[in-house]
């Protein structure tokens, strides 16, 4: 879907995160996975195809994105994957009633700095409810001034960088796609920090 609006386009970060899921596909069957800011849902669709129990979400204020999540599921013969509206930073009935999760996915959700704290607020809420869970996220480096480090400390979250070469994603072309192209993409895994700060 080549529409430049946020959730209407397959961004390079989605291809990189999908590659990570594919490389780790043997660990996915039976895992409960939630993709946030799913848009066209490439990572979530890959996780579902690999045997994970997936739920897709995007902003409840963006019905076209939720529609695209459903269309992606239908196009990939995944009609039973639930799609729910979750708006970052908002405690909603949908957020409160989510089933337990093991993995939260987010590709290029750290796009606009004004949303960073809302994203991490939602991620923190989900990790508090699911302390064993992890947030697997890829992001495109767009500005040296953009950082989530202070917010991670504020929300008592830790991050682990995942080198792209460790899952063969340090290339301009992945899976017969010209994405990620010449973009600088990073991957991190965010989890709750232990009480000793690690």
Strand pairing report for 173-174 and 103-107: unpaired
136 class by beta-carbon count within 10 Å (0-12 exposed, 13-18 middle, 19+ buried):
buried
Beta carbons within 8 Å of 137's beta carbon, 6+ residues apart: 17, 105, 106, 107, 109, 110, 187, 188, 189, 190
Give backbone dihedrals phi and psi of 60, rounded to 5 degrees, phi first: -65, -15
As assigned by CATH, the class of the 29-192 domain is alpha beta
Which residues of the chain register pLDDT less than 70? 1-9, 11, 144, 174-183, 195-198
State the Cα–Cα distance between residues 164 and 183, nearest whole angstrom: 12
pTM > 0.85:
yes
At 175 the pLDDT is: 62
For the chain, how big is the Rg over CA atoms in Å?
16
Q: 41-78: per-residue pLDDT in tens?
A: 899 999 999 999 999 998 888 888 888 889 999 999 99
Q: Kindly report the CA angle at 96 between 95 and 99, in degrees rounded to 5?
A: 85
Return the domain boundaries, the chain.
29-192
């Amino acid at each position: 879907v080549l529409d430049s609006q946020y959730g209407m386009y397959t961004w390079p970060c989605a291809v990189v995160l999908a590659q990570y899921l594919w490389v780790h596909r043997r660990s996915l069957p039976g895992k409960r996975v939630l993709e946030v800011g799913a848009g066209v849902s490439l990572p979530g669709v890959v996780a579902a195809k690999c045997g994970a129990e997936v739920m897709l979400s995007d902003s409840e204020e963006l019905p076209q994105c939720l529609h695209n999540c459903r269309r992606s599921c239908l196009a990939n013969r995944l009609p039973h994957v639930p799609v729910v509206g979750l708006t970052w930073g908002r405690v909603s009935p949908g957020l409160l009633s989510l089933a337990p999760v093991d993995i939260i996915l987010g590709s290029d959700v750290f796009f606009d700095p004004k949303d960073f704290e809302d994203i991490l607020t939602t991620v923190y809420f989900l990790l508090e409810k699911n302390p064993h869970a992890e947030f697997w996220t890829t992001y495109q480096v767009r500005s040296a001034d953009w950082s989530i480090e202070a917010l991670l400390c504020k929300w008592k979250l830790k991050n682990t960088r995942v080198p792209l070469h460790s899952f063969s994603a340090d290339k301009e072309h992945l899976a017969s796609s010209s994405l990620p192209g010449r973009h600088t993409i990073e991957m991190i895994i965010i989890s709750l920090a232990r009480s000793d700060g690690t």
